[in-house]
């Protein structure tokens, strides 16, 4: 079936989004086609605002509203500026904030080192992170990159670059999930849990 060009263009646009295949893209497109005009209008307005009214925080590189000199977390006097959690993407900040247990600030790398994909330190906010550490206000950097080859390589690179007195570099603990059974854990997870064991009490 040959679809009208506007419909096919929207299906193609949705298909480029992560996690959306051709069937889901088609369902979304036909939903919008049959929905009231205001639904499509609000979606169009929200997409425009997404790009027009958001910027990167000049301190931590998390996303924030346009016109702000720093994001809400960096501006908050209740956050400890001496503890900085280094994450890959803004979505990771949301994940950390959902825990309700971190009261420091963040630094968003905007990716990870990946020589295969041609991503080097200069393509990330690595230089800005090193400058923040050298400014002397940070006493702990928590490396919260993903437990992947690229995430581990990025964490090791940061650890090597930030070899400063008074700055402790830590890595998020990894191991067994709550409610998981040993028999179902893969070798790497089990080994990391064993290596990261802690004394009870």
Distance in angstroms (rounded) separating the CA atoms of residues 106 and 91: 12
- DSSP assignment of 7-26 equals HHHHHHHHHTSTT--HHHHH
- The token duo for 145 is 């990159």
| pLDDT tens-digit series, residues 179-198 | 777 777 788 878 877 877 77
Here the CATH number for the domain that contains residue 34 is: 1.10.8.420
Give the number of domains in the chain.
2
Ramachandran region of residue 67, left (φ > 0), alpha (ψ -120 to 50) or beta?
left
Q: Is 146 domain-assigned?
A: yes
Here the CATH number for the domain that contains residue 95 is: 3.40.1360.10
- The token duo for 42 is 């609000």
Question: Same structural domain for residues 138 and 92?
Answer: yes
Tokens 């009261």 belong to which residue?
Answer: 103
Range of the domain at 10: 5-52
- Share of residues in the chain with pLDDT > 90 (%): 75
Q: Are strands 54-56 and 63-65 parallel, antiparallel or unpaired?
A: antiparallel
Mean predicted lDDT score pLDDT of the chain: 91
Q: Of 30-34, 131-135, 161-165, 175-179, which range is least confident?
A: 175-179
Helix (H) or strand (E) holding 56: strand 54-56
pLDDT of residue 2: 85
For residue 63, report the phi and psi dihedrals to the nearest 5 degrees: -80, 140
Q: Is 42 domain-assigned?
A: yes
DSSP letter (8 states) at residue 183: G
Question: Same structural domain for residues 121 and 165?
Answer: yes
Question: Same structural domain for residues 85 and 165?
Answer: yes
Residue 126 has pLDDT above 80, yes or no: yes
By the 10 Å C-beta count (0-12 exposed, 13-18 middle, 19+ buried), 128 is classed as middle
| pLDDT tens-digit series, residues 62-101 | 999 998 999 999 999 999 999 999 999 999 999 999 988 8
Q: Is 113 domain-assigned?
A: yes
Question: Same structural domain for residues 87 and 160?
Answer: yes
- The token duo for 101 is 């247990």
Question: Same structural domain for residues 25 and 92?
Answer: no
Radius of gyration of the chain, Cα coordinates, nearest whole angstrom: 21
Classify the C-alpha dihedral 132-154-148-54 as positive or negative: positive
Cα of first residue to Cα of last residue in the chain, in angstroms, is 67
Question: Same structural domain for residues 33 and 107?
Answer: no
Question: Same structural domain for residues 85 and 154?
Answer: yes
- Share of residues in the chain with pLDDT > 70 (%): 99
Question: Same structural domain for residues 163 and 96?
Answer: yes
Question: Same structural domain for residues 43 and 126?
Answer: no
Q: Is 105 domain-assigned?
A: yes
pLDDT of residue 1: 67
Residue 10 has pLDDT above 80, yes or no: yes
Distance in angstroms (rounded) separating the CA atoms of residues 176 and 131: 35
């Amino acid at each position: 079936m040959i679809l009208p060009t506007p419909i096919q263009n929207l299906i193609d646009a949705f298909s480029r989004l992560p996690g959306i295949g051709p069937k889901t893209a088609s369902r979304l497109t036909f939903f919008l086609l049959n929905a009231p005009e205001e639904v499509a209008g609000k979606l169009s307005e929200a997409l425009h605002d997404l790009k027009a009214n958001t910027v990167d925080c000049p301190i931590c590189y998390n996303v924030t509203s346009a016109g702000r000199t720093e994001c809400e977390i960096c501006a908050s006097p209740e956050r400890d500026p001496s503890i900085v959690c280094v994450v890959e993407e803004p979505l990771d900040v949301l994940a950390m904030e959902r825990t309700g247990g971190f009261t420091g600030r963040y630094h968003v790398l905007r990716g990870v080192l990946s020589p295969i994909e041609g991503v080097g330190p200069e393509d990330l906010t690595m230089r800005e992170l090193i400058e923040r550490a050298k400014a002397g206000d940070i006493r702990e950097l928590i490396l919260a990159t993903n437990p992947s080859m690229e995430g581990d390589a990025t964490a090791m690179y940061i650890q090597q670059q930030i070899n400063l007195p008074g700055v402790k570099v830590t890595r998020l603990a990894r191991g067994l999930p709550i409610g998981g059974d040993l028999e179902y854990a893969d070798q790497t997870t089990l080994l990391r849990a064993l290596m990261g064991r802690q004394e009870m009490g």
